[in-house]
């Protein structure tokens, strides 16, 4: 009896695996196409400037002189770095040392600070001292031929907690500047 039952189950299983697979189901309704991805790109430019009494120890850099204003988003963040130093390695290669401003410095003539203010259209870089009259006492080396690099950081990157904006090299590497 057990053998007959086993043969019947085996026969039913074999027969049920054959036959017409059935018809295809209806096509679903197409959804709307999605928006193409947005390519987010950081912008940067570099300028060497002089600070003096004639320009009130400030320089004004309109973005339109360096980048296309259509590429600057309303929520983008502006960062300004100063070329603080350069050093040469054992192979003779020169490396730049960039520091994020504001940057407070001390000299024989007192304390001073490079700082900036920015809009979506321009950046103003200036030298500040505790007593504004002290700016005239600063060394020429502190005021002339100062190189700044302005980075316009897209909001998508500006809100990323993994980006250390104080380190120019990591920002440049991440954003491929």
Using DSSP's 3-state secondary structure scheme, residue 30 falls into: coil
Residue 6 lies in a domain: no
* Domain contains 15: no
20: in domain: no
> Which is nearest to 150 in space by CA: 76, 80, 74?
80
- Kindly state the average pLDDT of the residues 135-157: 85
96-44-89 Cα angle (round to 5): 15
pLDDT at 17: 59
Cβ(122)–Cβ(62) below 8 Å = yes
The contacts of residue 115 (CB under 8 Å, 6+ apart) are 101, 102, 125, 126, 127, 128
Whether the bond between 34 and the residue before it is cis, its omega within 30 degrees of 0, is no
What range does the domain containing 62 cover? 43-175
Encode pLDDT of 90-132 as tens digits: 888 888 889 999 988 888 777 889 999 999 899 999 998 877 6
pLDDT score for 32: 67
Digit-coded pLDDT (tens) for 44-81 = 899 999 999 899 899 999 999 998 888 888 888 899 99
What is the distance between the alpha carbons of residues 22 and 164, in angstroms, rounded to a whole number?
60
What confidence category does residue 33 fall into, taking pLDDT thresholds of 50, 70 and 90? Answer: low
Residue 66 lies in a domain: yes
Q: What is the pLDDT of residue 12?
A: 66
With respect to residue 23, please indicate whether it lies within any of the assigned structural domains.
Answer: no
In a domain, 138, yes or no: yes
Give this prediction's pTM: 0.71
Residue 9 covered by a domain: no
Q: What is the largest CA-CA distance in the chain?
A: 113
Contact 39, 175 (CB under 8 A): no
pLDDT of residue 164: 76
Total domain count for the chain?
1
């Amino acid at each position: 009896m057990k053998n007959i039952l086993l043969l019947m189950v085996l026969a039913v299983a074999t027969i049920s695996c054959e036959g017409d697979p059935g018809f295809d189901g209806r096509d679903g309704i197409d959804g709307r196409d999605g928006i193409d991805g947005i390519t987010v790109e950081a912008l940067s430019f570099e300028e060497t400037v002089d600070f003096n009494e004639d320009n009130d120890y400030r320089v004004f850099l309109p973005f339109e002189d360096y980048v296309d204003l259509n590429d600057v988003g309303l929520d983008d963040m502006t960062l300004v770095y100063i070329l603080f130093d350069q050093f040469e390695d054992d192979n003779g290669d020169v490396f730049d040392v960039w520091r994020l401003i504001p940057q407070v410095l001390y000299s024989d003539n007192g304390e001073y600070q490079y700082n900036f203010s920015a809009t979506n259209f321009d950046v103003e870089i200036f030298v500040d001292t505790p007593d504004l009259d002290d700016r005239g006492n600063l060394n020429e080396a502190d005021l002339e031929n100062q190189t700044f690099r302005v980075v316009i950081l897209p909001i998508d990157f500006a809100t990323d907690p993994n980006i250390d904006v104080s380190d120019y090299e990591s920002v440049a590497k991440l954003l491929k500047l």
